[in-house]
Amino acid sequence: MRNTTIPLTRRALLCLVIPAVFAACSPLNQPLPTNTPGATATQSASTSTPTVSPIPPTAAPSATPTPDCTTLPGQLVSGEIDTPLLPKPMTYHVYLPPCYTGDQQTHYPVLYLLHGQTYNEDQWIRLGVPTTADRLIAAGQVPPFIVVFPFDYSYLQPTEYHFEDVFMQLLLPQIDATYRTIPDAAHRAVGGLSRGGAWALHLGIHHPEVFGAIGADSPALFYSDAGTLPIAVRDMPIDHLPHIYIDAGDNDSELQSSHNIMKLLDNFGVPYEWHENTGFHDEAYWGAHVEDYLRWYAGHWQSNP
Q: Give residue-wise pLDDT tens across range 159-168.
A: 999 999 999 9
Q: Which H or E run contains 281?
A: none
Alpha carbons 138 and 98: distance in angstroms, whole number? 8
Q: What structural domains and CATH numbers belong to the chain?
A: 68-302 (3.40.50.1820)
* pLDDT given at position 278: 98
What is the model's pTM? 0.82
CB 113 within 8 A of CB 191: yes
Alpha carbons 112 and 95: distance in angstroms, whole number? 10
Q: Give residue-wise pLDDT tens across range 5-25.
A: 444 445 444 544 555 555 444
What stretches of the chain adopt beta strand conformation (E)? 46-47, 51-54, 75-82, 90-96, 110-114, 146-150, 188-193, 213-217, 243-249, 273-277
Q: Looking at 29-43, 110-124, 274-288, which range is the least confident one?
A: 29-43
Alpha carbons 200 and 207: distance in angstroms, whole number? 10
Higher pLDDT, 35 or 89: 89
Q: Give residue-wise pLDDT tens across range 157-198.
A: 999 999 999 999 999 999 999 999 999 999 999 999 999 999
Q: Give residue-wise pLDDT tens across range 268-280.
A: 999 999 999 999 9
CA distances from 18 to 6, 12, 13, 268 (A): 18, 12, 9, 11
